[in-house]
Homo-oligomer: A and B are copies of this chain.
Amino acid sequence: MKITGTFIDEISHDIPHQNWGPDEWDRDFGLMKAVGIDTVIMIRSGYRRFLTYPSAYLQKQFGCYRPPVDLVELFLQLADKHGIKFYFGLYDSGHYWDTGNLSHELDANRYVIDEVWQKYGHYASFGGWYLSMEISRRTKGATEAFRMLGSQCKQVSGGLPALISPWIDGKKAVMAASPQLTKEDAISVLEHEKEWSEIFEGIQGAVDAVAFQDGHIDYDQLDDFFAVNKKMADQFGLQCWTNAESFDRDMPIKFFPIKFEKLRLKLEAARRAGYDKAITFEFSHFMSPQSAYLQAGHLYNRYQEYLKTF
């Protein structure tokens, strides 16, 4: 299964920044394109006080800092240039992480969606929306939030698709800042199916594609979970994508590029399950030949060799 999309990790939560300028981004879009990527998804347009674009609203309302570069504009220009679709990731105020309450995300993004479409909607490469709340089964109010935000995104943009990328509450679902690598109380396939069926039912029509993160379960659980995900997606009319994480969750150093063999196992499981598309989190740190992590360039080479076997 070929990776045809990647997140762009701006603003980053937990992966150190590479400090790239426009030249490095231009080169990276070219490297993505060369390996078959047709979609980039900006993971979020802002996180707490840091922004990717100079939002008048967010600077005023949340005291956000004016960014040194308008990354949304840069990414859209590069997407236009390289013939890649760009998905815009909504704003993450951080209040949900602190309080478990999504109301700030809803309030803020109601304005952000309008502001962004007005500012950037004319770019040919503006291809969709990413609802950036990373939720799992227990996120209170997530269904409602996804439905409201997805609907608004689609309505304002003439129906451009909306994507979510939740995580499975599996054994590797631990906080990035935790020293642990696994936890005991992982979800079963049955619970996963029951809870996500309810969520999928609630969001159908407002969300077009779901790309579960594939790194929180063990490799021998991939087939079971993927089969259920595909079944649910079909039932509720969603596209079923995989978010093939290209970093390694099994190592004490958080986070470095994944061993190619592990990425391959995950991609092949997605193929077996009949998934519609594979995207990755993310190319520029973990698969790019110009990444600061030199293992990433070798992963790029191994992945290219793999493509030749198709």
Contacts and interface: CB of A to CB of B under 8 A. Distances in A.
Interface of A: 12, 14-21, 24, 49-50, 63, 65, 67-68, 176-181, 219-220, 248, 251-261, 264-265, 291-295, 298-299, 301-302, 305
Given A14-B251, A179-B178, A261-B50, A21 B63 contact: no
A67 B68 CA distance: 44
A17 B68 contact: no
Contact of A63 (B17, B220, B248, B257): B220
Protomer copies: 3
B252 A252 contact: no
A2 B302 CA distance: 34
Given A21-B301, A301-B21, A257 B179 contact: no
A115 to B, nearest CB: 21
A252 B253 CA distance: 9
B257 A19 contact: yes
Nearest to A177: B252
19 contacts: A12-B251, A12-B259, A14-B251, A16-B256, A17-B248, A17-B257, A18-B295, A19-B259, A19-B299, A19-B302, A20-B298, A65-B261, A65-B265, A178-B179, A179-B179, A252-B255, A253-B253, A291-B294, A292-B293
Contact of A49 (B19, B220, B248): B220
A6 to B, nearest CB: 17
A17 B253 CA distance: 11
Contacts of A181: 177
A253 B49 CA distance: 21
A252 B19 contact: no
Given A19-B257, A177-B252, 18 more contacts: A12-B251, A12-B259, A16-B248, A16-B251, A16-B295, A17-B248, A17-B259, A19-B299, A24-B298, A49-B219, A49-B220, A68-B260, A68-B261, A178-B179, A252-B255, A253-B254, A292-B295, A292-B298
A299 B24 CA distance: 12
Contacts of A302: 19, 21
Contacts of A305: 21
B261 A295 contact: no
Nearest to A18: B295
Contacts of A293: 292
